[in-house]
Amino acid sequence: MENAVPHRLYLKEDQIPTQWYNLRADMPEPPDPIRLPNGEIAEPEQLAPVFCDELVRQELDDETAYYDIPEPVREMYKIYRPSPLCRAYNLERALGTPAKIYYKFEGNNTSGSHKLNSAIAQAYYAKAQELTDITTETGAGQWGTALAEAADHFGLNLDVFMVKCSYEQKPFRRNIMETFSANVTPSPSDTTEIGKKMLAENPDSSGSLGTAISEAVERALNVPENKGRYTLGSVLNQVVLHQSIIGLESYEAFKELGEYPDIVIGCAGGGSNLGGLIAPFMRDKIKGIHPDTRFIAVEPASCPSLTRGRYAYDFADTGKTCPLAKMYTLGSGFLPSPDHAGGLRYHGMSPIVSKLKADGYLDAVAVKQTDIFAAAVEFARLETILPAPESAHAIFQAMEEAKRCAETGEEKTILFGLTGTGYFDMVAYDAYNRGEMTDHIPTDEELEVGFASIPSIPGVQ
Amino acid sequence: MENAVPHRLYLKEDQIPTQWYNLRADMPEPPDPIRLPNGEIAEPEQLAPVFCDELVRQELDDETAYYDIPEPVREMYKIYRPSPLCRAYNLERALGTPAKIYYKFEGNNTSGSHKLNSAIAQAYYAKAQELTDITTETGAGQWGTALAEAADHFGLNLDVFMVKCSYEQKPFRRNIMETFSANVTPSPSDTTEIGKKMLAENPDSSGSLGTAISEAVERALNVPENKGRYTLGSVLNQVVLHQSIIGLESYEAFKELGEYPDIVIGCAGGGSNLGGLIAPFMRDKIKGIHPDTRFIAVEPASCPSLTRGRYAYDFADTGKTCPLAKMYTLGSGFLPSPDHAGGLRYHGMSPIVSKLKADGYLDAVAVKQTDIFAAAVEFARLETILPAPESAHAIFQAMEEAKRCAETGEEKTILFGLTGTGYFDMVAYDAYNRGEMTDHIPTDEELEVGFASIPSIPGVQ
């Protein structure tokens, strides 16, 4: 007995997309422009000290729908792409659902996640501009690992500022980055001015993504001869552009199967995986080709930017050194509970995803981490992939939708993004298995503390 | 520019083999029979208390060349198979070699290794025989993880005896087995008679695979109503049979490419991955279809059974409770240096692999762990897969052969088995990265201690 649809559908190597897709070009209204703290719209030359020239162009370009993927980038993609579109037959059976559950699996590379898709692009453009150094921050470590691989491949020096609590709790993540020649520093550190300032205020700080970003930007700006740039693994428009490869391959695979998803689900921290996964399907919705497709962003209840945040201009970083983007935000001063193990702990959200949510094209739900680990364990037992906690948010919601179909009898086709593996998250799995994991849902008062850090911008907000 | 051969060749789901291949049926001489300590050849009924009936049949069958893969096994294979045949273009370029380097990658499942191929089969046959419990031992943890997944899938209780030093050094391995509902006990333990005896002799024992096997066998024999059986992840003929799926898929993939390997390389601990990988290619060599193919087993210099061991009947376990097999062995009393991080730390070797070596069909080399970690890091940086230390033995040797081709100009086609990923081996990677890894090559005197434990068998040796 063979299933008509294979458990794992791999496209051929020559079906790897040759172009990324820029959803902004087809949005009824593009996201609001990036601004400086004084309210002015950011010009390319103002971003150029921080990002490579080509990435600045991509960041600010709302018009070009398709970008050629440079050949060296595509050549590296071929080592681990196309990634499979998987049919979760075992999960369907276990849920007794008539729904078809598909997932796009992005964890099949040493970095363990989809982050490599943008890391390769960002490292390539830095090299093409003859830079010597790139810098970044990492929290859970997926982005840092991916960038370490990419920087190593293209022969760039890489400084990673790793949020201190992760640096201490995840030594193996650090080891793997060091295996790829990266220089990893716990943040806050005494190697930058902003780090020194944070340490002076709070010597025992366990760090935050916002602080690590500020340190990485400062480091990039201080590389001699203007040869350093900063890179970011999510949130930015350029990252969503690169991650469109996830959606484009999924789209092509569905075409081969003669199917189309009714529901597309992604976890949302900074929003890049979600934005990339949904891109071509959202294009079809916007153009009226498939107007009824439903899109769901799944975020942690402990860091609920889309469901409880404000849609406002805010800084990407705690140090308030970056330009501002209009996005759903909890305020750069918001810090998720230290009990939060499920990743996706960023205060803001991709401006593209935010705009789609604000304009009603996308729904968002927030889920508790104990629920997402329950879903993760059930999924691992059925599908032989141990998911990253981040990915488990999407798994949870896909299971919810499939259960609904079991009740109504609807044969919906569900697609979710399985962004990565959880091999470096076993401390959290262990806590869950022992029944020692707790949930922390911020009170309205706790959210107000974060909201107070959202800046007021002359003439804008 | 597209390469004619893709970086990763995935067969279609319906190309997953429907039969395993039993190389013994085509060997000029099969391996010597399994014997009891009194020298008698083991009969099926004498093995039946330890292994399921169907596995006993497979273990003792030197005649049936092809075994149908049961449908429930094949159905579970489909979740993670076919595994890709990968072309290591980046590695070839880095080595400046005219050789073509291929590897069969078996790490793309939660267990992280090829062990799942046999775990599924062994769990299925236990379930089909209406047993309730299976037991096993695990060292590095790959086999325990794989069996935990398989036992969970088929609804069996699983007791894993984990070598104590691994239990303590690899808590995440334990966590992942527990995620799949396994009961994990450090060995030696006070839950078995043999464990108590070992602890009485040496309370601080860090354990050994041989002791853990003895404990697992004892536990299986004590499950009420004869509903328990023991399982082993390597060495046995049945395991080599199940692992033939690796070779059969590789063979089929080479057929699609219109190529054939000149050299086939596998790491060798118990020999199951190597035996499975080489099976159909060795058949061609034996039958004179491809008489010149070269086969190379790669083992650690610190545990050199094939290169420095004796070809003799020996016990599989320290407790000397198992039957005896003729194999290359260092003696069940041999203990590799505690500094040894590279896996493959078993005193014996698959009787099939041993016989092929003894009869001149297979070469063997021993390599130092610092050299294999150097190869592992270079490979990870070039090919975006972080290999398990075990797999890195094969990588090292493939690189050696490819470098030789660079000198001679020969365009050889090299195939090696990449058995798994190294995500749970970061302590060892870290030691290597810090320059703190050492090599221990046993002296002849140290080997003699192990050889002294090889039994003398009436009328045989």
Domain membership flag for residue A76? no
Q: Quote the CA–CA distance of A26 and A14 in Å, as a whole number.
A: 26
List phi, psi (to 5°) of B376. Answer: -60, -45
> Peptide bond preceding A455: is omega within 30 degrees of 0, i.e. cis?
no
**Which pair of tokens denotes residue A150?**
């990419």
Both A248 and A391 in a single domain? yes
Domain membership flag for residue A461? no
**Average pLDDT rounded to a whole number, residues B210-231:** 95
Q: What is the 3-state composition of chain B as percent helix, strand, coil, each rounded to the nearest 5?
A: 45, 15, 40
Name the 3-class secondary structure at B166: helix
Residue A440 scores a pLDDT above 80: yes
- What confidence tens digit (pLDDT) does each residue in B328-375 have? 999 988 888 877 776 788 899 999 999 999 999 999 999 999 999 999
Q: Quote the CA–CA distance of A315 and A332 in Å, as a whole number.
A: 6
Q: Quote the CA–CA distance of A201 and A179 in Å, as a whole number.
A: 33
Domain membership flag for residue B245? yes
Average model confidence (pLDDT) across chain B: 94
**Average pLDDT rounded to a whole number, residues B317-323:** 80
Distance of CA B262 to the CA centre of its chain: 23
Look at A381 and B178 and tell me if their CB atoms are within 8 Å: no
pLDDT band for A136, please (50, 70, 90 cuts): very high
Question: Where is the domain boundary, A180, A195, A230?
Answer: A230
Both B308 and B173 in a single domain? no
**Which pair of tokens denotes residue B154?**
């088929």
Q: Tell which of B73, B179, B181, B256 to mutate to test the A interface (max A CBs under 10 Å).
A: B179
Both B99 and B127 in a single domain? no
What integer pLDDT is reported at residue B442 of this predicted model? 95
Kindly report which listed range (A269-273, B75-79, B137-141, B374-378) carries the lowest average pLDDT score: B137-141
Letter string b/e over residues A27-53, b meaning 16 or more CB atoms within 10 A of that residue's CB: beebbbbbbeeeeeebeeeebeebbbe
Letter string b/e over residues A95-131, b meaning 16 or more CB atoms within 10 A of that residue's CB: bebebbbbbbbbbbbbbbbbbbbbbbbbbbbbbeeeb
Q: Which helix (H) or strand (E) holds B67?
A: strand B66-68
Domain membership flag for residue B355? yes
Residue A1 scores a pLDDT above 60: no
pLDDT band for B235, please (50, 70, 90 cuts): very high
Both A86 and A127 in a single domain? no
Question: If you write DSSP's letter for every residue of B336-368 in order, what string do you get?
Answer: --TT--SS---SS--HHHHHHHHTTS-EEEEE-
Residue A429 near chain B (CB below 8 Å): yes
Both A223 and A255 in a single domain? no
Note the residue count of chain A.
Answer: 461
Nearest to B384 among A8, A80, A175 (CB): A80
Closest CA to B152 of B175, B130, B173, B183: B183
**Average pLDDT rounded to a whole number, residues B423-450:** 93
Q: What pTM was estimated for this model as a whole?
A: 0.95
Q: Which residue has the higher pLDDT, B291 or B318?
A: B291
Pairing of strands A363-367, B19-21: unpaired
What integer pLDDT is reported at residue B2 of this predicted model? 46
**Average pLDDT rounded to a whole number, residues B420-438:** 92
The amino acid at residue A113 is S
Domain membership flag for residue B457? no
- What confidence tens digit (pLDDT) does each residue in B120-133 have? 999 999 999 999 99
- What confidence tens digit (pLDDT) does each residue in A367-415 have? 999 999 999 999 999 998 999 999 999 999 999 999 999 999 999 999 9
Chain B contact set for A383 (CB, 8 A): 79
Q: Which residue has the higher pLDDT, B111 or A17?
A: A17
- What confidence tens digit (pLDDT) does each residue in B18-56 have? 999 999 999 999 999 999 988 999 999 999 999 999 999
Name the 3-class secondary structure at B289: coil
Residue whose entry in the numeric block shows the structure tokens 């236990």: B126
Residue B52 near chain A (CB below 8 Å): no
**Average pLDDT rounded to a whole number, residues B249-276:** 97
Q: Quote the CA–CA distance of B241 and B69 in Å, as a whole number.
A: 11
pLDDT band for B171, please (50, 70, 90 cuts): confident
Check: CB of residue B208 under 8 Å from CB of residue B201.
Answer: no
Chain A contact set for B421 (CB, 8 A): 110, 423
Both A58 and A165 in a single domain? yes
The amino acid at residue A35 is R
Domain membership flag for residue A194? yes
Closest CA to B362 of B397, B407, B395, B399: B397
Average model confidence (pLDDT) across chain A: 94
Domain membership flag for residue A456? no
Both B147 and B266 in a single domain? no
Both B196 and B96 in a single domain? no
Residue A149 near chain B (CB below 8 Å): yes
Looking at chain B, the whole-number percentage of residues with pLDDT higher than 70 is 99
Half-sphere exposure of A125 (CA within 13 A, CB side): 21
What integer pLDDT is reported at residue A211 of this predicted model? 87
Orientation of helix B53-60 relative to helix B116-128, angle to 10°: 130
Nearest to B380 among A110, A423, A427 (CB): A110
Look at B433 and A153 and tell me if their CB atoms are within 8 Å: no
Q: Which residue has the higher pLDDT, A226 or A345?
A: A226
Question: Where is the domain boundary, A230, A264, A291?
Answer: A230
Look at B385 and A2 and tell me if their CB atoms are within 8 Å: no
Kindly report which listed range (A345-349, A356-360, B255-259, B373-377) carries the lowest average pLDDT score: A345-349
Question: Where is the domain boundary, A182, A204, A230?
Answer: A230
| Distance between B251 CA and the closest CA of chain A, angstroms | 19
Total domain count, chain B: 2
**Which pair of tokens denotes residue B256?**
């699609």
Look at B381 and A181 and tell me if their CB atoms are within 8 Å: yes
User: Partners of B41 in the beta sheet?
Assistant: B35
Q: Tell which of B2, B5, B7, B102 to mutate to test the A interface (max A CBs under 10 Å).
A: B7
Please enumerate in sequence order all residues whose Cβ is within 8 A of that of B397, keeping only pairs 6 or more positions apart, or say none.
Answer: B265, B296, B298, B365, B367, B416
**Average pLDDT rounded to a whole number, residues A1-24:** 90
Q: Which residue has the higher pLDDT, B110 or B258?
A: B258
Kindly report which listed range (A21-35, A167-181, B184-198) carries the lowest average pLDDT score: A167-181
**Average pLDDT rounded to a whole number, residues A327-343:** 84
Name the 3-class secondary structure at B376: helix
**Which pair of tokens denotes residue B377?**
């890091």
Looking at chain B, the whole-number percentage of residues with pLDDT higher than 90 is 87
User: Partners of B405 in the beta sheet?
Assistant: none
Check: CB of residue A459 under 8 Å from CB of residue A39.
Answer: yes
The boundaries of the domain holding residue B390 are: 8-16+82-112+236-451
Q: Quote the CA–CA distance of A45 and A428 in Å, as a whole number.
A: 43
Both B130 and B152 in a single domain? yes
Distance of CA A356 to the CA centre of its chain: 16
Predicted complex ipTM: 0.93
Check: CB of residue A457 under 8 Å from CB of residue A325.
Answer: no
Max Cα distance, chain A (Å): 67
Both B283 and B334 in a single domain? yes
Q: Which helix (H) or strand (E) holds B222?
A: none
Name the 3-class secondary structure at B242: helix
Residue B436 near chain A (CB below 8 Å): no
Question: If you write DSSP's letter for every residue of B222-256 in order, what string do you get?
Answer: TSGGG-EEE--SSSSHHHHHHHHHHHHHHHHHHHH
**Average pLDDT rounded to a whole number, residues A332-348:** 82
Domain membership flag for residue A331? yes
**Average pLDDT rounded to a whole number, residues A151-180:** 93
Please enumerate in sequence order all residues whose Cβ is within 8 A of that of A438, keeping only pairs 6 or more positions apart, or say none.
Answer: A339, A370
pLDDT band for B209, please (50, 70, 90 cuts): confident
Residue B8 near chain A (CB below 8 Å): yes
Chain A contact set for B426 (CB, 8 A): 171-172, 175-176
- What confidence tens digit (pLDDT) does each residue in A28-71 have? 999 999 999 889 999 999 999 999 999 999 999 999 999 999 99
Look at A386 and B110 and tell me if their CB atoms are within 8 Å: yes
What integer pLDDT is reported at residue B1 of this predicted model? 42
Q: Quote the CA–CA distance of B8 and B26 in Å, as a whole number.
A: 31
Chain A contact set for B176 (CB, 8 A): 386, 426, 429
Residue A320 scores a pLDDT above 90: no
Nearest to B384 among A2, A109, A429 (CB): A109
Residue whose entry in the numeric block shows the structure tokens 């997944």: B149
CATH number at residue B159: 3.40.50.1100
For Cα atoms B236, B240, B244, give the angle at the middle one, nearest 5 degrees: 170
Both B125 and B185 in a single domain? yes
Both B327 and B269 in a single domain? yes
What integer pLDDT is reported at residue B319 of this predicted model? 75
**Average pLDDT rounded to a whole number, residues A291-312:** 97
